[in-house]
Amino acid sequence: MHVEPHHTPEQLRELTDRQRRASLWRRLRAVTLAVEGATAPTIAAALGCTERAVQKWVRRYNEEGPDALADRGGRGPRPRVGSETAERLRARLDAGPTPADGVCTLRGPEVRRILREEFGVEPGRQATYDLLHRIGYKPPVPRPAHCKSDPEAQARVKRGSAVASATSSGGTRASGSRSGSPTRPASAGRGR
């Protein structure tokens, strides 16, 4: 297998030894073994990968040097919301809920509705939360209080339900099976 002389074998070994990322280490190691004269099947067996992968790594090294062995972007689906739309959404969320939103705090379902109605994008639930995380939002902890909530009334309800649960009955006891004969233990005499 032909390898362009971008580096000497010693330089490649040194680059490989300094590499901390396992994926890049394996690619550099494949190129190092190829420079030392190993074949693609031998390298693939030694590194636990396919011959095709070894050939691809050597080709990338030949074309662009060791920098070409780094992970490349572009895998996976493209986000439906670009950076410009994400910035507009961030500004909209920072402004807070409007009276038309009908809520005191914008949460995931409201953000999905805003994306659909105002931005013309309809992401799924998880995609919405991923987008919020990407633009720097985290889930509100603790849960926000509604602007019209009454803390005293909530405290009264909590005190009242604690008293009610202490005086409640023990509940109904589950009875045995009513579906037929009772279950018997296996007979020790069977199977002899």
- Here the CATH number for the domain that contains residue 37 is 1.10.10
Q: CA-to-CA distance for 158 and 139, rounded, in angstroms?
A: 25
The pair of structure tokens assigned to 177 is 């099976």
Task: Please work out, in degrees rounded to the nearest 5, the angle formed at the alpha carbon of residue 46 by the alpha carbons of 42 and 49.
Answer: 90
Taking only the tens place, the pLDDT of each residue in 158-169 is 887 655 555 555
Whole-model pTM: value is 0.43
Domain that holds residue 44: 9-69
Please indicate, yes or no, if residue 109 is contained in any of the structural domains: yes
Quick one: DSSP state of residue 136? T
Task: Indicate if 126 and 89 belong to the same structural domain.
Answer: yes
Q: Considering the domain boundaries, does residue 188 fall inside one?
A: no
Alpha-carbon distance 177 to 91, whole Å? 62
What integer pLDDT is reported at residue 134 of this predicted model?
Answer: 87
Residue pLDDT, tens place only, 86-141 = 899 999 999 989 998 888 888 888 999 999 999 888 888 888 888 898 888 887 66
In a domain, 23, yes or no: yes
pLDDT greater than 90 at residue 50: yes
In a domain, 118, yes or no: yes
Mean pLDDT of the chain: 83
The helix or strand, by DSSP H or E, that contains position 84, with its residue range, turns out to be helix 83-95
The domain boundary, picked from 42, 69, 96, lies at 69
Higher pLDDT, residue 143 or 146: 146
Closest listed residue to residue 89, CA positions, set 108, 60, 114, 63: 114
Asked whether residue 15 falls in the same domain as residue 63, the answer is: yes
Q: What end-to-end distance do the CA atoms of the chain give, in Å?
A: 70
The per-residue pLDDT for 55 is 96
Residue 87 lies in a domain: yes
Domains identified in the chain, total number: 2
Q: Is the peptide bond before 142 cis (omega within 30 degrees of 0)?
A: yes
Angle at 51 between CA 49 and CA 53, to 5 degrees: 65
Choosing from 69, 92, 112, the residue where a domain stops is: 69
From 113, 49, 186, select the one nearest 57 (Cα to Cα).
49
